[in-house]
């Protein structure tokens, strides 16, 4: 069988760090059937039944059996505009300020292809979502990392970025509530980022995938709530986390019309939008009663409480996340992120995601998902506690 060489684009893609983790987990599962997986980012709850029923009904509509409009059905864009007005008080023009995405992941990769030329610079958070790197690599761009440190609540210190780097930058990625740290944004953070984008003429991309998940009665801030945001950037949202629709692959880019136009132009060459029945159900989810979202956030908050309290009981000095469904815990002294993750997998049969998979400044942490029942979170902490890695005095 002849083997064909891969393109230079594929060769330049960043290593899929978590593919290695999956292999390690699979090996342990070969001999143990009690592995607790806290390393995943996949919602464990089903899509609310009314949304599923809407899809069943929509799937029988012959109109949806044809190609969807390349840029998506207008009724779905209107639903996104209604959602932003209701939830954030932000006015959105559905004709020019919304692009339909096959999940926010697709948009976060595509936007670099839309706005970067080979050699162009993108500013990315570190630690951060690895698919930012993928899009930049496909576009032939270069990355400059912005460290996220605990002393600044995992916000970038923009004053650390050299002026010549800012001047060369074409894109800046931000993500709050943050994956992996669980930090949330402030008005001042977004205001400073917008000021820099205006001053240095780069585009801001805000990844708002976990936008619905905030704790202690605080609603996470949308980038588009800040004056001047639409002039310099877009926000990417998804239904994956808000409505447990991860497998449905529905997301949106919202904001600057020129960026929306560029994304839709690129997507015209990739695919013919999403199945119309899914778009119908997605619009229904956005327009309907949001009680399921309130219940979901309440569930994650209860799980957060159990996880943090159980961790503290074993002597693990941790802080509760402010948003998202992830916790970001420091590893014990004498361990790296990966060596600690390996130890708890092999000896406790608990999966956590090593922080170095999210960037250089993720070293020293592990990411833990609030994506299993409370009793399993307790059990996982008890198992890790049995390793006696933390001082309980």
Instruction: List the chain residues with pLDDT less than 70.
Output: 392-393
- In this prediction, residue 211 carries a pLDDT of 96
Residue 317's CB: how many other CB atoms inside 10 A? 11
pTM for this prediction = 0.96
Q: Which two tokens stand for residue 83?
A: 């959602």
Residue 142's CB: how many other CB atoms inside 10 A? 16
Render the burial of 7-28: b for 16+ CB within 10 Å, e for the rest: eeeeeeeeeeebeebeebbeee
DSSP 151-211: GGTT-B-GGGS-HHHHHHEEEEEEESS-TTT-----HHHHHHHHHHHHHHT-EEEEE-TTT
- In the block, which residue shows the tokens 């790197």? 133
Identical fold, 8-46+292-385 and 49-287: no
**For the domain bounded by 49-287, which CATH number is listed?**
3.40.640.10
Region of residue 140 (left: phi > 0; alpha: psi -120 to 50; beta: else)? left
CA 162 → CA 144, 147, 165, 200, distances in Å? 11, 14, 5, 12
- In this prediction, residue 393 carries a pLDDT of 44
Residue spans of alpha helices (H) in the chain: 8-11, 17-29, 49-59, 74-88, 104-115, 131-139, 163-168, 187-200, 229-232, 239-242, 257-268, 276-287, 291-313, 337-348, 374-385
Q: For 288-339, what is each residue's pLDDT tens digit?
A: 999 999 999 999 999 999 999 999 999 999 999 999 999 999 999 999 999 9
CA gap 229, 235 in Å, rounded: 9
- In this prediction, residue 392 carries a pLDDT of 56
214-217 CB contacts, 8 Å cutoff, 24+ apart? 214/177, 214/184, 214/297, 214/322, 214/323, 215/297, 215/300, 215/301, 215/304, 215/320, 215/321, 215/322, 215/323, 216/301, 216/322
- In this prediction, residue 235 carries a pLDDT of 98
How is the chain split into domains, by residue range? Answer: 8-46+292-385, 49-287
Nearest alpha-carbon partner for 129 in 372, 370, 371, 362 = 362
- In this prediction, residue 40 carries a pLDDT of 85
Give the H/E segment covering residue 369. strand 365-369
Phi, psi of 366 (to 5 degrees): -130, 150
CA gap 223, 236 in Å, rounded: 10
Q: Which two tokens stand for residue 197?
A: 């984008």
Its CATH architecture, for the domain 8-46+292-385, is Alpha-Beta Complex (3.90)
């Amino acid at each position: 069988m002849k083997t064909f060489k891969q393109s230079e684009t594929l060769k330049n893609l960043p290593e899929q760090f978590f593919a290695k983790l999956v292999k390690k987990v699979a090996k342990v599962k070969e001999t143990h059937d009690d592995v607790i997986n806290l390393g995943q980012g996949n919602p464990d709850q089903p899509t609310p039944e009314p949304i599923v029923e809407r899809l069943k009904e929509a799937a029988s509509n012959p109109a949806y059996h044809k190609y969807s409009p390349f840029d998506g059905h207008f009724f779905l864009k209107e639903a996104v505009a209604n959602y932003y007005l209701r939830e954030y008080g932000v006015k959105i023009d559905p004709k020019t300020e919304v692009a339909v995405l096959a999940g926010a992941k697709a948009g976060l990769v595509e936007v670099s292809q839309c706005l970067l030329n080979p050699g162009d610079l993108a500013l990315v958070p570190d630690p951060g979502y690895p698919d930012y790197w993928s899009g930049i690599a496909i576009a032939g761009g270069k990355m400059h990392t912005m460290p996220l440190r605990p002393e600044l609540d995992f916000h970038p210190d923009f004053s650390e970025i050299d002026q010549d780097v800012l001047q060369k930058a074409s894109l800046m990625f931000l993500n709050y509530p943050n994956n992996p740290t669980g930090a949330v944004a402030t008005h001042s953070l977004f205001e400073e980022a917008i000021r820099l984008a205006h001053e240095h003429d780069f585009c801001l991309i805000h990844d708002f995938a976990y936008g619905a998940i905030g704790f202690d009665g605080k609603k996470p801030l949308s980038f588009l709530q800040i004056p001047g945001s639409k002039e310099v950037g877009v926000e990417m949202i998804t239904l994956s986390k808000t409505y447990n629709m991860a497998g449905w692959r529905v997301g949106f880019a919202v904001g600057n019309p020129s960026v929306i136009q560029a994304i839709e132009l690129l997507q015209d060459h990739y695919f013919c939008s999403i199945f119309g029945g899914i778009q119908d159900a997605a619009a229904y989810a956005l327009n309907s009663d949001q009680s399921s979202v309130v219940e979901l956030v309440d569930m994650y908050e209860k799980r957060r409480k159990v996880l943090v309290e159980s961790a503290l009981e074993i002597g693990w000095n941790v802080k509760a996340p402010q948003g998202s469904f992830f916790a970001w815990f420091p590893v014990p002294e004498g361990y790296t992120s990966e060596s600690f993750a390996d130890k708890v997998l092999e000896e406790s049969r608990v999966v956590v995601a090593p922080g170095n998979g999210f960037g250089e400044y993720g070293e020293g942490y592990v990411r833990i998902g609030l994506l299993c029942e409370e009793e399993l979170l307790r059990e996982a902490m008890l198992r890790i506690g049995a390793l006696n890695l933390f001082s309980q005095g």
